[in-house]
Chains A and B, each alone.
Chain A
Amino acid sequence: MSTIAPQSGSRSHGGAAYRPSTWRRVQSWIAGHVVMFSALLVLVYLFIPVAYTFVFSFNNYRKSNIVWNPQGSPTLKHWKDPCGAPGVCDALVTSLEIGAIATLVATILGTMLAFALVRHQFRGKAASNLLVFIPMATPEIVLGASLLTLFVQGFSRFGLRLGFWTIVIAHIMFCISFVVVTVKARLQSLDPRLEEAAQDLYAGPGSTFWKVTFPLVLPGIVGAALLAFSLSFDDFIITNFVSGNETTFPKFVYVSYLRGIPAQANVIGFSMFVLALLLVIAGTLVNNIRKPKV
């Protein structure tokens, strides 16, 4: 407010000339902070169930972790023994493994597709773009149902059972499209003159790619991989269709819901959240403070 004070002082001398600008400043100050304030509220809204999860990881409950047990004081016992509930850690490990494999494969395949779609001229490009787009426009339940049909009717004769690998296959499939659009956007915003400049400076096709194109597209690829991993790790609907007896972390939570979700799941869910947050924040910080190499 102090910035406005001198102006309101001068108004008494200068007449009404200052009024519009002062008023507009107040207006824009409010407008600017209203936006920021509501953005923060939305973020808080996003975090409410995460906070709930966190709080209930300390619940000293008797039968099921649904209501806070007023008798039992908060306990750390679930944090001390996060694998205490049968199956929860296996499910987590399965989810992480599936996420890692699916992310790796989908990122590679999707990046290759993105390069071809942006950098190469070929017939059927529009159709190819459509083929990449449609999986994103298909409800997960349809994807899951169709894959289940394929695995049960088409692939069982090859000895492919529902389980770990069918989940991996399905996750790769729906992650590819997201990788393609992410990497494509990055590639399209890349100035083609940078690659020309590299060629002009004696870099052949190989060095041009590895020294200029790839480093510049890398943030897009990393972002795509991060997104793919998040989508895979969090997927439930498709997974539920194609998982057979295999249990991923979301499926574990869903299945145990009727009996009551063990607090260990809260511990793990919240830890994963913090881990993801810290990893990326650390990555950003390292990126920012890394001294330019000599």
Chain B
Amino acid sequence: MEVVADDGSVSTSHRFVAAICTCRRSRIYPWCDTSHRRRTRPDEKVDQEGAAEPAAGGVGR
């Protein structure tokens, strides 16, 4: 699949599904690299509420 950015540049993925970054924090944008994850201190309570998730793109999606 191909993702066309606002500036017209095209990124291609041959994977069966691609995870498309929606948080804009990824270092391999437009693909997700899990940078959307909540960052916590080791002693902090774990809570996923509000964390962004990538969008799925590709065959059959």
Q: Do A and B originate from a single complex?
A: no
Interface residues of A, Cβ cutoff 8 Å to B: none
